Copies of this chain bind each other. A is one copy, B any other.
Amino acid sequence: MKPKIIHDTWKIITEDTDFSLNEGYESIFSLGNGKMGHRGNFEEYFSGPSLQGTYIAGVYYPDKTKVGWWKNGYPEYFAKVINAPDWRGIKITIDGEKLDLYEVTLEDFRRELNMKHGYFAKQFVAILKSGKKVKVESIRLLSIVNDEIGLIKYVITPLNFSGNIEVLFDIDGDVMNRDANYGEKFWTEVSRGFDPFPYVVTETKKTFFHVANTFSAKFSSEGREIKPVKIARLESDKYVGLVYTLPVVENVPVEIYKYVSVTSSLYYEKGESLLNGAFDNLRYALDKGFEQLFSEHAQAWEEKWRDSDIVIEGDVAAQQGIRFNIFQLNQTYTGKDERLNIGPKGFTGEKYGGVTYWDTEAFCLPFYMSTSEPKVARNLVLYRYRHLEKAIENAQKLGFSGGAALYPMVTINGEECHNEWEITFEEIHRNGAIAYAIYNYVRYNNDPEYLAKYGLEVLIAISRFWAQRVNWSVPKQKYVMLGVTGPNEYENNVNNNWYTNYLAVWTLQYTIEVLEYVRDNYLNDYNRIVEKVNFDYDAEVNHWQDVIQNMYYPYDPERKVFLQQEAFLDKELKTVDEIPPEERPISQHWSWDRILRSCYIKQADVLQGLFFFEDHFDVETLRRNFEFYEPMTVHESSLSPSVYSIVASKIGKEEKAYELYLRTARLDLDDYNNEVHQGLHVTSMAGTWMSITYGFGGMRIKDNKISFAPFMPRHWKAFSFKIRFRQWLLKIWVDQSQVKITNESSTPIDLLLYDNDYTIEPGQTLVHNVEHVLN
């Protein structure tokens, strides 16, 4: 069963009342504003399948790990962003009967996510068991202008009766995570009350974050405020609620407003300050009123779209798909706070615990770099600088020394949280992705000062790790890297993963370059760093040079391809089309044993290296490797097809590039992998964005300029995308015959189009006629 989404260019719409898919829809209709978010749970009572989820960025809990046999070096806990107090509730009771959307008969049911203006809307007519009929229309949003404020407008119309209805507004802090490893609740109550507004302050166990939730209600009808005839209080541990009894008249709509504020101890002193902050927000919101707040929020979303939209002409489903991705990325991370990062599921589910993976560096950074002001990307890169000390401790725990750093596979505070040796200890290419992100950020934003202030320290620590992680093989007379797991996690504990070896050597080379650059240009910083990290240039760089010159790379001289790892050719080489369709995805049908021993590739591995370092190889090399690995790749990570798609675009396999793009374009909306109920693939959405901009758009940085080489997927009429590059804002528009690049900024830009130099004046459009032949 797949979600039934109505195609629309700006909205995600469903009229589906098959609630067996409800948890998937809840993921799809998630809202977020960078600081907090929640799944698209109903405001109403709902006794059907539902994963209730409210999340506050940075508020986490170190859940006890589950592990078969604990091994030295394993972390003791798994930090997760946890389910936070739930403030959505607007729960209706009519004559003692609950308006439970799972129990009533529904007509004209519709949920929609308005991406242009950033809200979730819902409407239905419900027929209760008593025969009473009500019509409901609601709007919900998390303000991106005032990011501690949530708003609900809820319009209810009795269609065949007059009388009283009861409306329960509540805050429920007595929540838990479905994946709480030992069924534990993570919150305790600090305080609760009703003055001046109903509130609950809760605290996480162990981490002692405080969170205040407060709400206020407004009711009106026919333009006039109305008063409840009765208000009753409900309270219990971590819970407050008010039951308003409202008089209603047949066919006369009543507007119900819930104003909510959520504050956390990340931004307030615990105690009065935190709670007063929430009350102040609430007063401010009540003062402005729903309509004004709504309009400011909608306006802010329009501005976000101005810098980040992709328009696809002639394909509504594709248009909806890419906007959904951009929308979710913008909901998840705003770059305001360098302590925050991007969990693979954003605010849309519990899986992966809201913690940070290498997805951020390899996939998300390019999106934020090109669609936000430079500070946003800088904060993402700085995040790892802030964790450098912990990464050094992490490496020490594993037996490394001398200031070597191993960044964690999974983290929220810099400490490793993942507990499988083959990942935690071996999937070390992540360390290289962090070095690459520094290079990528500095190159894109031309910010070499970042290297002197922050980057070099991180690079030295990572290079020190690589230099210790290799060892000299006597039989090979080369350096080897034993016992690693590459990005393709369907191979574990292999020797000489080509991508990891290549990335390690690149890191060493880049670090040497940066050392020299900083010494030549920022000598004070250079000296400061050398002293701080006790750097012995001669000894260390000499060893690095030795590793650079003598690294072993597995290679097949017959096929002239890089080998994903040593001994890869000992496997039985098969292609994906030999797998019976009913056995796909293999992760859901095959034993782990069978998967590991097969040749099948979960996600870009050698190809990840070709993507990062395409300039190092000629097109024929890219093509040979693509043609060898692509038929063996099952793409069972959402991060995979976008990388293959970009490389396919590069080597002129345009149909293949488009086919691969399609595998991620509507991954969650069409739920290809039967897992949207777990949350959205937020980080992979940035990969989809890259498939268009880097892939179809051929965007690169070359010679310190931005460069494009677009081609037009023939299934579309035209497409265009917006790019922020340093001080410039560009619009690139492509159809079968023309490429147009408009400089929407106030200074002229020098750029490359199909490797030719152009200068575009402010407000001007470069028009290029293409004669394009599809491969």
Known contacts A418-B68, A419-B68: A472-B572 contact under CB 8 Å: yes
Question: Which chain B residue has the least Cβ–Cβ distance from A587?
Answer: B72
Q: A590 contacts which of B68, B72, B182, B590 (Cβ < 8 Å)?
A: B72
Of the candidates A72, A419, A569, A588, the one having the most CB atoms from chain B within 10 angstroms of its own CB is A72
Which residues on B sit within 8 Å (CB–CB) of A587?
A: 72
Contact present for A592 and B493 (CB under 8 Å) = no
How far, in whole Å, are A495 and B569 apart by their CA atoms in the complex?
12
Contact present for A68 and B597 (CB under 8 Å) = no
Known contacts A73-B593, A398-B594, A483-B593: A570-B68 contact under CB 8 Å: no
Contact present for B482 and A570 (CB under 8 Å) = yes
**Chain B binder among A48-56, A336-344, A420-428:** A420-428
How far, in whole Å, are A71 and B66 apart by their CA atoms in the complex?
14
Per DSSP, chain A at the interface is: loop
Which residues on B sit within 8 Å (CB–CB) of A625?
A: none
CB distance from A424 to the nearest CB of B (A): 8
**Chain B binder among A169-177, A473-481, A612-620, A735-743:** A473-481
How far, in whole Å, are A592 and B72 apart by their CA atoms in the complex?
6
Contact present for A495 and B68 (CB under 8 Å) = no
A509 at interface (Cβ–Cβ under 8 A)? no
Which residues on B sit within 8 Å (CB–CB) of A473?
A: 569-570
How far, in whole Å, are A476 and B482 apart by their CA atoms in the complex?
21
Interface size class of A (residues with CB under 8 A): 35 or more
Known contacts A471-B572, A571-B482: A596-B72 contact under CB 8 Å: no
Which residues on B sit within 8 Å (CB–CB) of A567?
A: 482, 495, 566-567
CB distance from A79 to the nearest CB of B (A): 14
How far, in whole Å, are A629 and B472 apart by their CA atoms in the complex?
20
The contact string, 1 if C-beta is below 8 Å from chain B, for chain A 705-731, is 000000000000000000000000000
Contact residues, A394-451 vs B (CB, 8 A): 397-399, 418-422, 425-426
How far, in whole Å, are A597 and B73 apart by their CA atoms in the complex?
14
Of the candidates A418, A420, A597, the one having the most CB atoms from chain B within 10 angstroms of its own CB is A597
Which residues on B sit within 8 Å (CB–CB) of A67?
A: 66-68
CB distance from A598 to the nearest CB of B (A): 10
Contact residues, A562-596 vs B (CB, 8 A): 566-567, 569-573, 587-596
How far, in whole Å, are A67 and B425 apart by their CA atoms in the complex?
17
Which residues on B sit within 8 Å (CB–CB) of A182?
A: 182-183
Contact present for B474 and A591 (CB under 8 Å) = no
A74 at interface (Cβ–Cβ under 8 A)? yes
A69 at interface (Cβ–Cβ under 8 A)? yes
CB distance from A615 to the nearest CB of B (A): 31
Contact residues, A175-226 vs B (CB, 8 A): 182-183
Q: A591 contacts which of B425, B471, B476 (Cβ < 8 Å)?
A: B425
| 7 closest Cβ pairs, A-B complex | A73-B591, A425-B593, A71-B592, A66-B66, A399-B594, A398-B591, A473-B570
Known: A471-B571, A473-B569, A495-B570. 8 other contacts (CB 8 A): A68-B418, A72-B587, A397-B591, A471-B570, A472-B572, A473-B570, A482-B597, A566-B567
